[in-house]
Amino acid sequence: MLFVVAVLVAAVLFGTTGTAQALGPEGTTPFAVGTARLLVGGAALALVGLLIGSRGRRREPAAAPPVRARALALMALTGLCLALYQPLFFLGTARNGVAVGTVIALGSAPVLAGLLEWLLTRRRPTASWLLATGLATAGVVVLAAAGGGATGADAVGVLGSLGAGASFAVIANAQRRLIAGGWDAFTVSGAMGAGAAVCGLMMLPFADMRWIIEPQGVAMALWLGFATVALAYALFTWGLGGLSAATAATLTLAEPLTASLLGVLLLGERLGPLAVSGLVVLAAGLVLLALTSRARRNPDPTPLEA
C-alpha cells in the first residue's frame, strides 16, 4: 500500500506544475520558469539520487556496471532533454491553459516513446498498443482542432506540448537502456538531475529572473524544484520498486487529472465541449495503454515504464 501511495503522491505533485507556474508572479516566461526549476530541482534530484545510488554500489560493488562513454552519453542526453522539456511544457500551458497543455504533453509522451522504441529496436507493436496510440493521437487532434483561447489549444501551444512529450520520450528510451545495462534507477535519475542543473546554469544568463526576488517567485521556484522534481521523482522511483509497471503507469494518470482539476478549480479555466471530448478520448487511450502494457501478449515493458 505504501508503494501505491508513493507513486500516487508523485503523480499528484507532477500535476501541480502548470498551476504553480500560473499562480506565480507576473513577468515570468516559460524559459525563466524552466530555468529555475532545473536549477533547484536538478541539483536536489542529483544530490538525492546519486547519494542513494552510491550507497547501493558500496553494498554491492560487484553489481556496479563499468563506466563507459555510451553510458555517460546517455546520462548527458537525459539531462539535456529534461532541460528542453521545461520551457516547452510551460509554453504549452501558457498558450493553451494548464488542463489542455498538460494533457497534450502527457498524452503524446507514451505514444512518441513507443514510436521511438519501435524505430530503434524494430519490435513490432501489439494490436492493443496500436489501438491505444490511435485513441491518444485522436484526442490530441481533437484538442488541437478545438480552437484557441480558453476553450481549446492553439498551434504554437500544441507544438510546445508535443515537444515536451518528445523530450520525455527520449528520456524514457535512454533511461531504459541504462537500467538494462545494470545501472540502478536512483543513479540514473541523479545523473539526469545533475545534467539538468548544468543546463540550467548555462541558461541562467539568458533568462529574466527579476521575478524570483518576489515572495511569490521564491515560493514558486522552491515548489517546482523540490516538490515537482526532487521529491516527486524520488517517490516515483521508490514506488516502482514495489509495484508492477502496469499499476504504476495507471497511477500516474492522476497527473493529468490533477492538472485538469486544478486548472478548472483554481485558475477558472473553461473547457468547451470539443475540448472535453478530446480529453475523454485521450484519457481512454492512456488507460488502455496502461492496462495492456504488461499483458501476456506484450510481456516487454514500454519505454514509459522503464
Instruction: State pLDDT tens for residues 231-274.
Output: 887 787 777 666 654 455 556 667 777 877 787 788 877 777 88
pLDDT score at 290:
63
Taking a C-beta distance cutoff of 8 angstroms, is the pair 82, 42 a contact?
yes
Surface-to-core class of residue 131, CB atoms within 10 Å of its CB (0-12 exposed, 13-18 middle, 19+ buried): middle
Surface-to-core class of residue 110, CB atoms within 10 Å of its CB (0-12 exposed, 13-18 middle, 19+ buried): buried
pLDDT score at 303:
45
Please give the grid coordinates belonging to residue 40. 533547484
pLDDT score at 248:
59
Cα–Cα distance list, 168 to 86, 106, 109 (Å): 10, 9, 6
d(CA 298, CA 295): 5
d(CA 283, CA 107): 8
The number of beta carbons lying within 10 Å of the beta carbon of residue 60 is 9
Average pLDDT along the chain, 306 residues, taken 10 residues at a time:
82 87 86 92 91 76 76 93 89 81 77 79 72 77 62 78 90 82 86 93 92 92 93 78 56 72 79 80 75 52 43
Phi-psi region at 268: left, alpha or beta (left = phi > 0; alpha = psi -120 to 50):
left
What pTM did the predictor assign?
Answer: 0.78
Please give the grid coordinates belonging to residue 16. 501541480
pLDDT score at 244:
52
pLDDT score at 184:
85
pLDDT score at 202:
94
Long-range Cβ contact pairs of 117-126 (< 8 A, separation 24 or more): 117/173, 117/176, 117/302, 117/303, 120/173, 123/300, 126/292, 126/295, 126/297, 126/298
d(CA 114, CA 120): 10
Instruction: Give the distance from CA 143 to its chain's centroid.
Output: 20
Which amino acid is located at 299 in the chain?
A: P
pLDDT score at 6:
86
pLDDT score at 302:
46
pLDDT score at 227:
94
pLDDT score at 224:
93
Sequence-separated (6 or more) residues with CB below 8 Å from residue 76: 195
Sequence-separated (6 or more) residues with CB below 8 Å from residue 119: none
Taking a C-beta distance cutoff of 8 angstroms, is the pair 268, 224 a contact?
no
d(CA 270, CA 242): 38
Taking a C-beta distance cutoff of 8 angstroms, is the pair 306, 171 a contact?
no
Mean pLDDT across the chain: 80
d(CA 279, CA 288): 14
Helix (H) or strand (E) holding 187: helix 185-203
